[in-house]
Amino acid sequence: MNQEPIHQYKFEALNCCILIPTYNNEKSLASVLQDLLLYTSNLLVINDGSTDATEEILKGFSGINIHHFEENRGKGEALKHGFKIAEELGYEYAITIDSDGQHYPDDLDVFLSHLEEKSPDSEILLVGDRNMGQDGIPGKSTTGNKFSNFWFLVVTGTQLTDTQSGYRLYPLKVINQIKLYTSKFELEIEIIVKAAWRKVKVRNVPIKVFYEENRVTHFRPFWDITRITLLYIWFVLVSFFYIHPRDTYQDFRKKGFKRFWKENIIKSQEPAHKKAAAIALGVFVGILPFWGLHTLLVFSLAAMFKLNKVVAFLFSNISIPPLIPFIIYASYQAGSLLTGRGFAWELRPEDFDSTADIFLGLWQYIIGSFALAGIAAILLWIVFYFLFSVTNQKQVVKP
C-alpha cells in the first residue's frame, strides 16, 4: 500500500504545485524528483531542451506532468511556460525549485505555512532567503545578491535580503497577467519587481541551501550580470518617472492633503530633522534648473540620504506650471545679484540681443536657481524642524 506524500493534503487544499525547470542536470535530477515526491505528487517539470540524459531520466517518472522543449530557450522561458501550464491544470500557486540539488524539500513547509497564513485580501510572492553570510556560499553569488537587493529596494521601496534565490512561491493568476519580456535568469528579477509594482507583497522566507563543489550551473557571470544590470537601469527609469510618482499621487489623492499630511508626515516615526530634511530636499530639487529630471533626482537623492521618498517627491512639485514663471524670475534675479549685475525688476528684450547675452543670462539663471534652492531649503528645514520637534513631543506626552 502506497503511503500518501507528507504534504499532499496541504498542496491540494492550497491548489499548489511544484514547478521544476531543468536543463542538463542529469546527475541530480532523479534524486531531486524522488525527494520531492515524498512531499507531494503535484509536480510539473519543464525540460528546457536538455542534451544530456534528462529525457531518459524523466521517462522513469510517468506519474508527473512533464513538458519538453526541443531546444534550449532559457530558464525564463521555461518558467513562463510552466506558469501557464500550472494555471491551466487548475493550480493557483506554484513553488519553483532548482534541479541542481541546492534546495531542501523539507523547506516546502515554510512556504506552505506562510501561504496558509496570508490575508485573503492580498497576494504574496515568497522568495527563499539563503542566508548568504553562511559558510560555503560562493563570493560571486553574495556580491551579485547585494547588488540586486539594493536596486530592488530603489525601484520598489521593498527591502529583501535575497532577491536571486530560485526557491520561490508564485501566485499564478497575477504572474500570468504580467507582461514578461526576458527569457533567462533575469526573468526572476523582472517578476518580483513587476509583482511589487502591482502591490503584491514580496517577502523573504528562511531556507537552507547546499552548494555542491562540482555542481552544474548554467549561470554565465558576464552576460547574465550584464543583462540584470541593463534590466535594473530600465526599471530605475520606469520607477522614477512613472511608478513612484503614480503611487505617490494615488496615495495623496485617496487620502487628501489633511490625512496625507497627518499619516505620512506628522505621525511618521522618523526624527524631526529627517522629516524636515525630506521636505527641504524636495523643495531644493524642485527649484533646480533640471527640468524633466526632478523626479529622477529627488528619488535618487532621497534613497541616497535615506529620507522619506514620498514626502520629498511631493514637495519637489513646487515647480508646478503656475509657479514656474515665478521660480525662473526669482532665480534669474538672484543670479543677477550674485554675478554683480544688480537687481532689475524688468526683463527687456534688448538684454538678450546677442548670443553672448543669452548665454550670460542662462548662466545667471543657473547660478541663481542653485542659490535660491539652497536658501529655500535651509529656511524650510529650520521652520519644519521646529514644527516637527513640537509635534513629536506632543505625541510622546499624549496618554
Per-domain boundaries in the chain: 8-219, 249-397
Q: Which has more confidence, 355 or 229?
A: 229
Over residues 24-28, mean pLDDT: 92
Packing angle of the helix pair 324-338, 355-397 (nearest 10 deg):
110
Question: Torsions phi, psi of 205, nearest 5?
Answer: -130, 145
- 8-219: CATH number: 3.90.550.10
Task: Provide the mean pLDDT of the chain.
Answer: 87
Predicted TM-score of the model (pTM):
0.75
Task: In whole angstroms, give the CA distance from residue 26 to residue 13.
Answer: 32
Determine whether 235 is exposed, middle or buried from the number of CB atoms within 10 Å of its CB (0-12, 13-18, 19+).
buried
Q: Which has more confidence, 101 or 17?
A: 17
Cα torsion 21, 128, 61, 214: sign: positive
Return the number of other C-beta atoms located less than 10 Å from residue 88's C-beta. 10
Which three cell numbers, joined as nine digits, stand for 77? 522561458
Measure the CA dihedral 279/280/286/292, to 10°: -80
pLDDT of 90 over the 80 cut: yes
Buried b (16+ CB within 10 A) or exposed e, 102-128: bbbbebbebbbeebeebeeeebbbbbb
pLDDT of residue 399: 46
Instruction: Answer whether 167's CB lies under 8 Å from 243's CB.
Output: no
